[in-house]
Structure 1
Amino acid sequence: MTKRLRIISPKRNRRLQTGWEGFFPYYAGYPELFARELLKSARLPHSAVVLDPWNGSGTTTYTATSLGLNSIGIDLNPVMIVVARARLLPPSEADHLRPLAATILSHAHSAPLPLQPDDALLGWFDPATAAFVRGIEQNIRRSLVGSMTKSPDGVHLDRISGTAATLYVALFAACRRLVAPFRSSNPTWLRAPKPYDTRIAASKAAIARDFGNNVRGMSAALAEKHEADQSQKRLPHPGDCKVSLSDTVTMDLAPGSVDFVLTSPPYCTRIDYTAATRIELAVLAPLLKTAERALGRQMIGSTQVPKGEIDVDEGWGETCLGFLAALRAHPSKASGGYYFRTHLDYFDKMNRSMQRLAVGLKAGGRAVLVVQDSYYKDIHNDLPTIITEIGAGHGLTLAQSKSFHLRSMSDVNPGRKTYVRPSGATESVLCFTK
């Protein structure tokens, strides 16, 4: 009989995001403590492979690696690939970060490079500020992005070194503080600057100081974490980890190659996940193959109308079909057009992703998905049940589940009061077996 998994609340707790973890405040479905308790209770052998197909900032891969398990993290957003790679930096590298940052800043000051007129940073910063930020980025790239990352067919950010990724994260954090005036009502999201907006201006000294302070803080936190692990004798041989820039709809998983899946797929709340990383995408722009808008269109939950026709698939399950029918018939503006089509896009991509996930999972393997429900106007979008029914269509059986009531960002939407519906949201931890 399969042992039941230990499930604690998947709600993120900012009070736990301190030290090394405090430098990775990116969107995630659950905290490290949730992943750690769940993976430990699974009692996987050290040869096991743990997969997170929506890896985000790398909570699953970081936790699995620290427990001595092998892991695979997949994400479509290049920024999240860099963040996840930085999170895996070995503590032995802590002493290298500060002198590297000092050299990079010295070069940025002494040998400024010309700024291209179409540089993505000019959308946010005035020319002098953009030029210095780009100078820091260019020197990180020149010093630490080598032949393993760059190849004749382009830059492979999923091969970037942990050291380079960490310095990029330090630069990301400095830029996020600079663009604070563009934060939206959701504190993690950034609105894109309008043509009439005043661009951000900052001195070279202020930018260099912020970047340097970030690196010093990360170095100190990593060293402190190493000491804590030693004192608690928590030093298993770290597992192997592969972080891959890929789309879950087309991800190439060998059949039966994965023992355990732990993930949180994008919620069906019409959130553009690229909007959370707009400034980071601007920093990375010279390394990217895909523009922000095209990247956003590929995302599950894209706010852009899909290209081409998508047919409703009965394999999505009775609950999904009922929700789509109610949405299409809703009298509010654009329900039967724009909103219906974007939801079709979401369920089509989710179904195809679940199919590939199921193929990769071994017989007898387990998959844990953290999923949140939502409302379209006054129509309940019971995503946990929909995902359960989609999973059943691909050979996954729900063996265990636990739900938690949480506050929801949708409650702050002024339009919410127009419709009668419960406050908050239900986040469900769904545990499947194959």
Structure 2
Amino acid sequence: MRARLKIGSPKRNKKLQTGWEGFFPYYAGFPEQFVRDMLESAQLGAESVVLDPWNGSGTTTYAASQLGLKSIGIDLNPVMIIVARARLLPPSEADHLRPLAATILSQLRSAPVVMAADDPLLSWFQPDAARLIRGIERNIRRSLVGGITKSPDGIHLDKISGTAATLYVALFAACRRFAATLQSSNPTWIKLPKADDDRLDPTVYAVAHQFAENVRGMSDALAARQLIEDTSGLDFAAAASTIQLSDTAKMAVPASSIDFVLTSPPYCTRIDYTAATRIELAVLGPLLKVKPRDLGRQMIGSVQVPQDTIEIDESWGRTCTRFLAGLKAHPSKASGGYYYKTHLDYFDKIARSLGRVTTALKPGGRAVFVVQDSYYKDIHNDLPQILKEMSTRKGLTFSKREDFHLRSMSDINPGRKNYERPAGATESVLCFTKPA
């Protein structure tokens, strides 16, 4: 008899993000405890492989590794690849983080940085601060990013070491701290300075000190995990996790190789996930193959109009086609043009991704999607029902749905008062199996 899944609330609780987890406050679809409960209740075998095709900051791969399960995490955003790999750093690596940070900072004196005029950090920071941040980044790159990551055919960030990734995250966190004054009401969004004089201007000491303090905190948090491991018999690095930089709609996961899928696809709420990490993308500038704007166009949920013409596919299901028809006919400005086209782009990418996920899943394997509904003006975008219909048309069998009501970021938008619609949103946990 198939094990019954334990489905808790997928709502994140920031109060639980302490210690090691406190260094990864990035937008995520669900909390670690939700993943642990789900994977433990699934009673997966020792050789089972878990897939999260929208891995984000790596909650699924991190929790799977703690439970001794092999996992694959996929994301298109290079920042999330760095974050997910850092999150998997074994506690045994804690002791050498601070000496590495000290060496990286000491090298700044012997090799000053010459800033390129178009360095993306200059969009955020005054020249002296930008120069120091770039110097720290350059020294991390020179000291810890080797020939496997920087191969002759280009940069492969999904091969970066956990140690290098952890130091990058420490630098990300420092930049985020200095940019706190640019935080908007949307928790995923940091505004660009409006003018050159408004750019961030922390002192050289403040930048170096904040980076060093972040590394120290990460080292201490890892050491605390090591102590728990030693006294409890747990092994926080018991299984291999593979982090891949890839477009989910094109991902190359072998057919019938995955036992369990647990993921939260990007919601159809016009969150620009690239813009949410653009200060980190500026830090990673020398390692990026693609410009942030082009990356944003590739993302599911892109706010840019697609370059190709997209037609409605009947396989998207009745709920999706009905929603798109209502959106196209809506009398508000740009509904039938810009908004219609960007929503077509979203559903096209989601449908192709679900096809890849279904192919990767073994016969008899299970998939769990966490998705949230939303509204376009006064039109209900019932994304849980849409994904249910899409997934069944791709070959999965629907088994269960559990709903959780929560506050929605759209509630803070003043424009929503112009339309009658319920407050909050419904976050749904959808469970499927692939027929044997």
TM over 0.5, shorter chain: yes
Conserved? CA contact 1:192–1:278, under 8 Å: no
Conserved? CA contact 1:329–1:336, under 8 Å: yes
Equivalent residue of 2:353, what SS? helix
Residue pairs, 1:162-311, within 5 angstroms: 162-195=162-195, 198-235=198-235, 238-311=238-311
Mapped to 2, the partners of 1:266 and 1:150 lie a distance apart of 30
Mapped to 2, the partners of 1:77 and 1:412 lie a distance apart of 26
Q: What is the identity, as a one-letter code, of the residue corresponding to 1:239?
A: A
Equivalent residue of 2:248, what SS? coil
* Residue matched to 2:56: 56
Report the alpha carbon displacement of residue 235 of structure 1 after superposing the two structures with TM.
Answer: 2.4
Conserved? CA contact 2:90–2:237, under 8 Å: no
Report the alpha carbon displacement of residue 57 of structure 1 after superposing the two structures with TM.
Answer: 0.2
* Residue matched to 2:101: 101
Mapped to 2, the partners of 1:228 and 1:299 lie a distance apart of 38
Q: What is the identity, as a one-letter code, of the residue corresponding to 1:306?
A: P
Equivalent residue of 1:206, what SS? helix
Equivalent residue of 2:278, what SS? helix
Report the alpha carbon displacement of residue 200 of structure 1 after superposing the two structures with TM.
Answer: 1.1
Report the alpha carbon displacement of residue 154 of structure 1 after superposing the two structures with TM.
Answer: 1.1
* Residue matched to 1:132: 132
Mapped to 2, the partners of 1:18 and 1:325 lie a distance apart of 45
Mapped to 1, the partners of 2:308 and 2:236 lie a distance apart of 50
Q: Deviations over 1:20-42 (max 9, x none)?
A: 00000001100100000000000
Kindly indicate whether residue 89 of structure 2 is the aligned counterpart of residue 81 of structure 1: no
Report the alpha carbon displacement of residue 228 of structure 1 after superposing the two structures with TM.
Answer: 1.7
TM-score by length of 2: 0.98
Q: 1:334 to 1:236 in 2, by over 3 A?
A: closer
Q: Deviations over 1:241-280 (max 9, x none)?
A: 1100000111112110111001000000111101110110
Over the residues paired in the alignment, what is the CA RMSD in angstroms?
1.0
* Residue matched to 1:18: 18
Mapped to 2, the partners of 1:206 and 1:249 lie a distance apart of 42
Conserved? CA contact 1:305–1:342, under 8 Å: yes
Conserved? CA contact 2:66–2:238, under 8 Å: yes
Mapped to 1, the partners of 2:139 and 2:190 lie a distance apart of 26
Mapped to 2, the partners of 1:376 and 1:170 lie a distance apart of 38
Conserved? CA contact 2:229–2:236, under 8 Å: no
Mapped to 1, the partners of 2:359 and 2:29 lie a distance apart of 23
Report the alpha carbon displacement of residue 196 of structure 1 after superposing the two structures with TM.
Answer: 5.2
Mapped to 1, the partners of 2:4 and 2:268 lie a distance apart of 28
Mapped to 2, the partners of 1:2 and 1:394 lie a distance apart of 22
Conserved? CA contact 1:4–1:400, under 8 Å: no
Q: Deviations over 1:317-344 (max 9, x none)?
A: 0000110111111111111111110000
Q: Which runs of 5+ in 1 are unaligned?
A: none
Residue pairs, 1:360-399, within 5 angstroms: 360-399=360-399
Conserved? CA contact 1:370–1:429, under 8 Å: yes
After superposing the two structures, state which structure 1 stretch, 72-81 or 393-402, moved more: 393-402
TM-score by length of 1: 0.98
Conserved? CA contact 2:373–2:384, under 8 Å: yes
Quick one: percent identity of the two aligned structures? 67
Kindly indicate whether residue 303 of structure 2 is the aligned counterpart of residue 313 of structure 1: no
* Residue matched to 1:3: 3
Kindly indicate whether residue 142 of structure 2 is the aligned counterpart of residue 152 of structure 1: no
Mapped to 2, the partners of 1:49 and 1:225 lie a distance apart of 24
Mapped to 1, the partners of 2:210 and 2:35 lie a distance apart of 32
Q: Deviations over 1:50-90 (max 9, x none)?
A: 00000000000011111111100000000000000000001
* Residue matched to 2:30: 30
Report the alpha carbon displacement of residue 188 of structure 1 after superposing the two structures with TM.
Answer: 2.9
Mapped to 1, the partners of 2:197 and 2:307 lie a distance apart of 31
* Residue matched to 2:121: 121
Conserved? CA contact 1:68–1:237, under 8 Å: yes
After superposing the two structures, state which structure 1 stretch, 186-195 or 174-183, moved more: 186-195
Runs of 4 or more consecutive aligned structure 1 residues displaced over 4 Å after TM superposition = none
Q: What is the identity, as a one-letter code, of the residue corresponding to 1:64?
A: A
Equivalent residue of 1:426, what SS? strand
Report the alpha carbon displacement of residue 111 of structure 1 after superposing the two structures with TM.
Answer: 2.3
Alignment length (residue pairs): 434
Equivalent residue of 1:273, what SS? coil
Q: Deviations over 1:104-145 (max 9, x none)?
A: 001113321211111110111111111110000000000000
Conserved? CA contact 1:191–1:275, under 8 Å: no
Mapped to 1, the partners of 2:136 and 2:27 lie a distance apart of 25
Q: 1:403 to 1:271 in 2, by over 3 A?
A: same
